[in-house]
Chain A
Amino acid sequence: MNCHEINPKLYLLADGELMDSEMQAVKGHLAECVDCRMLLASLERENEILREAATVQFCEPERLLLLENRLFRHLERPNRWLGAGVAFRRQMLAFASALMLIMGVVTHFHGDQSVLAHSIAQLQIERSYLDVRFQWNQYIGNFSSPRRR
């Protein structure tokens, strides 16, 4: 191998990326060639400069702790809301049960069945109204043609 062939491999060698299969040939050339040894030394020096230039250090422990706490707040938020929803549903269920119980007791002890009869009659009227409306909708639906795409 001559210097021209070795040159690109020196970049890889300086970066520690040269394959083992090529290592022996390159080292053999370096043992004989002063110019390539100097080139390798300057490449390694460049890498040191780049490491120094590309160093970023701003990870202060206090700041990281704050960020960690912020992350936990985000992680715990869905669970908290889920818990709140469950509690709300339970309260609503308890409230509805109590209301139904009170109504049942009132109806039972009132003695007058007219209230219940009135309610049933009202329900029947509403049902017949809904039946008529349903039939009317069906009647209207028969005339409307499906939309073509």
Chain B
Amino acid sequence: MVCDIVARQTLTSDTKEPIGGLIGYLFRIHAPMVLTTAFRVLRDRSLAEDVLQETFLKLYQMKDRLDEAVSITGLLRKISINMSIDILRKRGRERSLEVNEVEDQGSTPSIHIPFTQVGVNEAVIVRELLERLPSVDRLILELRYGEQLSYAEISQALDISVPAVAQRIRRGKDTLRREFRSSKKGTL
């Protein structure tokens, strides 16, 4: 939040600073976040780096139109996610990342058998299981637990409602539990 305030002051101040002063500051703060977010969508390092560059170029182009209420961190994240999804669409993988609202299939929870097991490095198994999830469910889980975003921030970044985010997270975790149980039986 402090970064956001300083960044906004830097962006909106009418100084005679060179370009490096404006964007360089924001780049050094936010580049890791933008790069990681793009990588989470694209699963490709070089494409994620392209998205990083395009995201900051776009921010530079729209610096005069920034609204006071908009969080620069949230804006950068949203730009990078949208650009990454556009790249996937251009490469013909759009069906895998259609972010639609999901219907609430009732709140009756299944019997909870957690994916925890003593004596096993669960994180390694779960990392592999995450890759098998539908792209949107995986992305939402990664944004929630990898990037530590709140449901509201995820809904803002992906343009879906907060209940839909909660539903996706629960569904993703249910799938992980099922897969974890079957992996214990020797399928992994």
Nearest CB of chain A from residue B3's CB, rounded to whole Å: 16
Nearest CB of chain B from residue A13's CB, rounded to whole Å: 12
Which residues of A does B touch, CB under 8 Å?
7-8, 11-12, 15-17, 39, 42-43, 45-47, 49-56, 58-59, 64, 67-68, 70-72, 74-76
Answer whether residue B141 sits at the interface, using C-beta atoms and an 8 A cutoff. Answer: yes
Q: What per-residue 1/0 map shows which CB atoms of B133-166 lie under 8 Å from chain A?
A: 0000000011011101011000000000000001
Q: Which of B36, B60, B112, B116 contacts A59 (CB 8 A)?
A: B36
Partner-binding segment picked from B21-29, B65-73, B90-98: B21-29
Between A51, A52, A54, A74, the greatest number of chain B beta carbons within 10 A of the residue's beta carbon is seen for: A54
Q: Is the CB of B151 within 8 A of A59?
A: no
Q: Which of B19, B20, B31, B123 contacts A49 (CB 8 A)?
A: B123
Q: Which residues of A contact B127 (CB under 8 A)?
A: 53-54
Q: Is the CB of A72 within 8 A of B151?
A: no
Nearest CB of chain B from residue A61's CB, rounded to whole Å: 10
In the bound assembly, the distance between CA atoms of A53 and B125 in angstroms comes to 8
Given contacts A49-B116, A49-B122, A54-B145, contact A72 B169 (CB under 8 A): no
Q: Which residues of A contact B52 (CB under 8 A)?
A: 67
Q: Which residues of B contact A55 (CB under 8 A)?
A: 146
Given contacts A49-B122, A50-B145, A58-B45, contact A75 B109 (CB under 8 A): no
Q: Which of B53, B130, B141 contacts A70 (CB 8 A)?
A: B53
Q: Is the CB of A64 within 8 A of B144?
A: no
Nearest CB of chain B from residue A26's CB, rounded to whole Å: 14
Q: Is the CB of A59 within 8 A of B27?
A: no
Which residue on chain A has the smallest CB distance to residue B130? A53
Q: Is the CB of B114 within 8 A of A45?
A: yes
Nearest CB of chain A from residue B163's CB, rounded to whole Å: 11
Answer whether residue B7 sits at the interface, using C-beta atoms and an 8 A cutoff. Answer: no
Q: Is the CB of A15 within 8 A of B122?
A: no
The 6 closest A-B pairs by CB, nearest first: A54-B146, A59-B32, A52-B123, A50-B145, A53-B126, A42-B114
Q: Is the CB of B57 within 8 A of A54?
A: no
Q: Which residues of B contact A12 (CB under 8 A)?
A: 166
Given contacts A49-B122, A53-B130, A56-B39, contact A68 B28 (CB under 8 A): yes
Q: What per-residue 1/0 map shows which CB atoms of B49-67 lie under 8 Å from chain A?
A: 1001100110010000000
Q: Is the CB of B170 within 8 A of A11?
A: yes
